[in-house]
């Protein structure tokens, strides 16, 4: 960034945008920084929403990313409840919903995503999603003991909502359209561990369910699938993924394809405009092609990297995705790009829910899923980059500490 480029605007107050704004300051930028978002709350951590915050064991104030005074102390102009309706990349101007125009020299789009909707729930005000802090109170109010909740979607958010609802004394039905939970990530044997975890806790889990109709009747909300099966519950939560919020970029003519298209430095097709976080479709540094990552940790890392890139750092972004989920006291972690069709090596015991599944594709280490094995997932996250062609026998050997594999062992290449 040159001396003349003194105003940076960040659109989106999620972890990617907030981290970018803070990183600009920590890296020495002393120009104007404006952090703007349409949510009413100060930047906060999303992962607790479906767990501690929903259950009421953690007050929402404790989810704040930084203490309230941080933004003023860092001379960051934080604007909440402020929507951007227009972007003119030629004039370098943002149009706000209230009519104000805001100029910038450099712009970061960290607009995140919105919950994906089921067509049959359009316009239904008593069907819940969980994406923002403002979604929590209304849903929590419905999760009283002895009430029933229907969760549509058995991904990470749906599963965490199901686990929280069970902890709150609710009866839970969980429906998944695929043959098994997380079908793109998990092969059948591991998906079965995930399914059994919920069933053992009293969740009525059904897979292969395509919900086609949802209607309110006297007894509650009635869901019907394509095979005319029915499920009745007091409350419905839809958790079938998210859609990247690309409308602003599209309106401005910025390249969009399953998110905002960026290069390895988070630059978009418009000069001076960057994108990071859930909305950014970026080059895959390990496997080639492109990917868009929806994990909190990745959004944080991307926000920091994008800010440095805006300041002239030309270090390509090459981090491996990583995320976690806690359900019923079981810690589930993912790293890399595991897929159900990969070759899988299992360390530990599936039945005991204490294992690491290591995913290899064309002889290369590409990902891992761990249950209660956080240290191995941390090690494998590094090995995916640093030693992707480790001997599978070494990976399978539980006497080998993957965190301290020696260089001599790293040179053993699978044939």
Residue listed under structure tokens 């006497």: 399
Q: b or e along 6-29 (b: 16 or more beta carbons within 10 Å of the residue's beta carbon)?
A: ebbbbbbbbbbbbbbbbbbbeeeb
* Separation in Å, CA 374 to CA 164, 247, 252: 22, 37, 42
Query: What pLDDT was estimated at residue 337?
Result: 95
Domains in the chain (CATH in brackets) are 7-114+242-310 (3.50.50.60), 117-238 (3.50.50.60), 329-410 (3.30.390.30)
Query: What pLDDT was estimated at residue 409?
Result: 56
Q: Which residues pair with 129 in a beta bridge?
A: none
Query: What pLDDT was estimated at residue 414?
Result: 42
10 Å Cβ neighbour count for 68? 11
Q: What is the arithmetic mean of pLDDT over 189-213?
A: 94
The DSSP output letter for 403 is: G
Query: What pLDDT was estimated at residue 378?
Result: 95
Q: Is the pLDDT reported for residue 104 higher than 90?
A: yes
CA atoms of 21 and 35, how far apart (whole Å):
7
What's the pLDDT band for 404 if we cut at 50, 70, 90? Answer: confident
Query: What pLDDT was estimated at residue 3?
Result: 47
Q: Is the pLDDT reported for residue 48 higher than 80?
A: yes
What's the pLDDT band for 88 if we cut at 50, 70, 90? Answer: very high
Report the percentage of the chain scoring pLDDT > 70. Answer: 96
Q: What is the arithmetic mean of pLDDT over 391-397?
A: 94
What's the pLDDT band for 189 if we cut at 50, 70, 90? Answer: confident
> What digits encode the pLDDT tens for the residues 116-164?
999 998 888 889 999 999 999 999 999 999 999 999 999 999 999 999 9
Q: What is the arithmetic mean of pLDDT over 12-25?
A: 98
**Predicted structure pTM score:** 0.93
**Cβ contacts of 162 within 8 Å, gap of 6 or more:** 149, 151, 154, 172, 174, 198, 203, 327
CA atoms of 308 and 21, how far apart (whole Å):
10
**Cβ contacts of 100 within 8 Å, gap of 6 or more:** none
* Separation in Å, CA 335 to CA 8, 114, 163: 32, 24, 22
Q: Is the pLDDT reported for residue 185 higher than 90?
A: no
What's the pLDDT band for 195 if we cut at 50, 70, 90? Answer: very high
Query: What pLDDT was estimated at residue 413?
Result: 44
Q: What do you get for the CA distance between the two ends of the chain, in Å?
A: 47
């Amino acid at each position: 960034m040159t001396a003349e480029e003194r105003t940076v605007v960040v659109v989106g107050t999620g972890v990617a945008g907030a981290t970018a704004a803070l990183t600009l300051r920590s890296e020495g930028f002393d120009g104007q920084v404006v952090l703007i978002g349409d949510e009413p709350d100060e930047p906060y951590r999303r992962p607790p929403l479906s767990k501690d915050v929903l259950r009421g064991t953690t007050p929402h104030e404790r989810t704040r990313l930084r203490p309230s005074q941080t933004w003023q102390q860092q001379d960051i102009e934080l604007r909440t409840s402020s929507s951007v309706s227009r972007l003119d990349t030629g004039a370098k101007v943002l149009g706000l919903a209230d009519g104000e125009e805001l100029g910038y020299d450099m712009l970061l789009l960290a607009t995140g995503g919105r919950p994906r909707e089921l067509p049959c729930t359009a316009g239904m005000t008593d069907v819940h999603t969980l994406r923002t802090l403002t979604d929590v109170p209304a849903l929590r109010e419905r999760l009283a003991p002895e009430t029933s909740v229907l969760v549509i979607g058995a991904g990470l958010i749906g599963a965490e909502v199901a686990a929280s609802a069970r902890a709150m004394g609710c009866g839970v039905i969980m429906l998944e359209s695929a043959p098994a939970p997380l079908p793109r990530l998990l092969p059948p044997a591991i998906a079965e561990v995930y399914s059994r975890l919920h069933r053992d806790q009293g969740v009525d889990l059904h897979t292969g369910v395509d919900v086609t109709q949802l209607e309110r009747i006297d007894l509650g909300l009635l869901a019907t699938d394509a095979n005319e099966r029915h499920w009745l519950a007091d409350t419905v939560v839809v958790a079938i993924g998210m859609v990247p919020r690309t409308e602003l970029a599209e309106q401005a003519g910025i390249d969009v394809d399953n998110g905002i298209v960026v290069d390895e430095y988070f630059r978009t097709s418009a000069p001076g405009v960057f994108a990071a976080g859930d909305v950014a479709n970026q080059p895959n540094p390990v496997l080639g092609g492109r990917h868009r990552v929806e994990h909190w940790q990745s959004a944080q890392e991307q926000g920091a990297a994008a800010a440095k890139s805006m300041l002239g750092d030309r270090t390509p972004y090459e981090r491996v995705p990583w995320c976690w989920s806690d359900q019923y006291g079981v810690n589930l972690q993912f790293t890399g790009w595991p897929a159900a069709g990969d070759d899988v090596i299992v360390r530990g015991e599936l039945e005991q829910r204490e294992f690491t599944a290591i995913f290899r594709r064309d002889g290369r280490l590409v990902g891992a899923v761990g249950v209660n094995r956080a240290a191995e997932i941390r090690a494998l996250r590094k090995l995916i980059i640093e030693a992707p062609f480790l001997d599978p026998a070494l990976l399978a050997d539980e006497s080998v500490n993957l965190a301290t594999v020696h260089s001599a062992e790293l040179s053993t290449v699978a044939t």
